[in-house]
Amino acid sequence: MMLFRQLSDATTRTLSYLVASRRGGKAVLVDPVRSQLRLYLRLLEALDLSLAFAIDTHTHHGHDSALGALLIHTDCVTVMGRESQVDCVARHLRDGEVLKVDGLEIEAMHTPGHTPDSYSLVMDDRVFTGDTLLINGTGRTDLGGDARQQYESLFSKLLRLPGRTLVYPAHDYNGRHVSSIADERRQNPRLLARSADEYAALMQRVRPRAPGHADAAEPPSLNPSAPLMRQLLAARAALGVTRAGARLF
């Protein structure tokens, strides 16, 4: 069975992932945080793992990556997408390229929009989505990203994965640990947008409550012109419970 650990940084609410095929084998670490370096090294030692690859799904200001530190303390190869400009990256992946590690296969899927260098990492039963697809949300696009690109990454790539595919994002601010492609199709309010233009208009209104929560899903999803609000209003009208001048929310 595959060895899998989800690791959380309480300060940044970053979720990192350690993946290996077995104890005593080679491992991959996804989206590591610098402040958790000691934890990673202790965990690798406890499980008798050799770190083969340390991968960041994307980078932007405020993302405190541990790639450089891991490069110093282990024999790993640091990895990002080919669009990345990070100096400490030793290997740059292309869209569709497959990393093979001790019997495991991880496919790189370029999913820009949150940042130009955003990638998702696809395995047989799960996908590490970085900040492109969050649980019940999507990563903001106003920090050098592009909402229309993100729409295409979501609807033309990620949401076409099998519904059973487990979704593991790089952040969650509400104590959630995993979702699935099927659940996000059904429940994610950001994914109710019917076009790239509608999605871009929605994302223009997304702002974080706190600077450290730059990727949190925000109440503007319930703006009267947003898709979710339109659905709620239509449902109320269909049930005949609306009244002239009544406040619905």
User: Which tens digit of pLDDT belongs to each residue from 78-101?
Assistant: 999 999 988 889 999 999 999 999
User: Once rounded to an integer, what is the mean pLDDT over residues 33-58?
Assistant: 96
pTM: 0.84
Q: What is the DSSP letter of 65?
A: B
User: Once rounded to an integer, what is the mean pLDDT over residues 158-176?
Assistant: 95
| pLDDT band, very low/low/confident/very high, at 245 (cuts 50, 70, 90) | very low
Q: Which domains are delineated in the chain?
A: 3-239 (3.60.15.10)
pLDDT tens, position by position, 37-49: 999 999 999 999 9
